[in-house]
């Protein structure tokens, strides 16, 4: 296990969960040929709840922009702006408590930064499909322009972590994907009532 980089370990160990998130509605609808504003709004609600549940912790652990290394750039406001552009109502949420484990927070950051990187592909597709741009509902999916994924990847390469610390990072990422799956399931349940 020590022979693989932390990034490679995170990708390898969370690949199945990542696929589950991408294949489950409403996130899967983002790649659908018949995606409309309502389907997109449902995906934004899932992303809102996930980012809202993690952002406070990520700002706590990685909020120092002057550190010269990775820092978390808040993006919840972009999701809220997109929801409002689609005439949606901002969901209410209780901010989660700060994750006390720095290493688990790295795993959660991996999930969020990875989703931001995926926005590069989705932004183009959603712009064509929904005829929107970053000023009319695609602010979150254009967050990739800020380069946070590259910054995160470079920072991961500088870390010297024990196997136990790496496992805590992987555990945090798995929990992040499980949270996304639970929120997708919750949205689906609400729609079927």
End-to-end distance of the chain based on CA atoms, in angstroms? 46
**pLDDT tens-digit series, residues 99-143:** 789 999 999 999 999 999 989 999 999 999 999 999 999 999 999
* Tokens matching residue 184: 């997708």
* Rg of the chain in Å (alpha carbons): 16
Element of type H or E holding 8: helix 6-23
Averaged over 11-40, what is the pLDDT? 95
Please give the pLDDT value at position 21.
95
**Backbone angles phi and psi of 100, in degrees to 5:** -70, -20
**pLDDT tens-digit series, residues 168-181:** 999 999 999 999 99
Cis peptide before 26 (omega within 30 of 0): yes
> What CA–CA distance (Å, rounded) separates 180 from 13?
16
For residue 11, pLDDT beyond 70: yes
* Tokens matching residue 58: 């990520």
The SS3 assignment for 14 reads helix
Closest CA to 103 of 161, 54, 185: 161
Closest CA to 153 of 191, 100, 120, 109: 109
Averaged over 26-32, what is the pLDDT? 94
**pLDDT tens-digit series, residues 66-108:** 777 899 999 999 999 999 999 999 888 766 677 789 999 999 9
* Tokens matching residue 78: 């972009």
> What CA–CA distance (Å, rounded) separates 120 from 108?
20
pTM of the predicted structure, to 2 decimals: 0.92
């Amino acid at each position: 296990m020590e022979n693989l980089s932390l990034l490679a370990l995170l990708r390898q160990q969370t690949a199945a969960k990542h696929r589950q998130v991408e294949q489950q509605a409403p996130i899967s609808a983002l790649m659908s040929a018949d995606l409309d504003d309502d389907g997109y709004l449902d995906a934004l609600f899932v992303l809102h709840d996930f980012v809202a549940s993690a952002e406070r912790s990520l700002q706590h652990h990685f909020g120092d922009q002057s550190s010269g290394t990775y820092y978390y750039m808040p993006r919840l406001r972009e999701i809220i702006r997109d929801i409002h552009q689609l005439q949606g109502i901002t969901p209410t949420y209780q901010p989660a408590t700060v994750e006390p484990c720095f290493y688990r927070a790295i795993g959660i950051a991996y999930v969020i930064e990875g989703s931001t990187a995926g926005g590069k592909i989705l932004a183009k597709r959603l712009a064509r499909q929904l005829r929107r741009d970053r000023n009319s509902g695609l602010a979150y999916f254009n967050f990739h322009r800020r380069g946070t994924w590259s910054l995160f990847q470079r920072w991961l390469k500088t870390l010297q972590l024990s196997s136990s610390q790496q496992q805590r990072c992987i555990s945090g990422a798995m929990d992040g994907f499980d949270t996304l799956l639970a929120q997708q399931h919750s949205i689906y349940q609400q729609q079927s009532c």
